[in-house]
Amino acid sequence: MIAIRQFNQMTPQEYLEWEPTQEIRYEYIDGEVFAMTGGTKPHNRIAGNIYTSLDSHLQEGGCEVYIADVKVQASANGPYHYPDVVVTCDSRDQNSNQFVQYPCLIVEVLSPSTEAFDRGGKFARYRQMETLQEYVLIQSEQIGVECFRRNEEGLWVLYPYESGDTFTLSSVGLSLSVDAVYRQVRFESTETEAS
């Protein structure tokens, strides 16, 4: 997704009242709102593949998985972000239909226009969330998965994966092959499908 800065300053409460009345989604960061525009077919397919695997795996366990249209409240006063996929296993999140506050897993599919922010400012805010255990970044223009996992000391450790690898989302106990994440994804430069 691509974020485009819009409008003047808002309070978190003004944003939460205003945004549901809009035709498109807006993220909220430090009083500013940013329009979220559409992504590419590879971006959509990758997010869909991750969501489908998680939804199937989590259907009996009390966890909830959401795709694209559910925002995450990173702190009491925002920011509010729309990750590509978010999982919560915290019963406190059942009290809100507007957003997730206690995620254990967040997945972002990288776009050229948002990659720097997803890796930098957004991840810095997400790292402050005590319940978040894993942050996964997935390339949309080539094959590559990066899983940042919080270790026992509270430090974030990077685990990179490529085609042929299998990785485990420890926060939810799911192992996936990188190739399954890229199932039916066609990259523009090669016009070939990933297996």
Q: Tell me the per-residue pLDDT of 104-143, one tens digit each, with 9 for 90 and over.
A: 999 999 988 889 999 999 999 999 999 999 999 999 999 9
pLDDT at 7: 58
Residue 1 has pLDDT above 80, yes or no: no
- Residues whose CB falls within 8 Å of the CB of residue 36, separated by 6 or more in sequence, listed in order: 1, 2, 3, 24, 25, 26, 27, 82
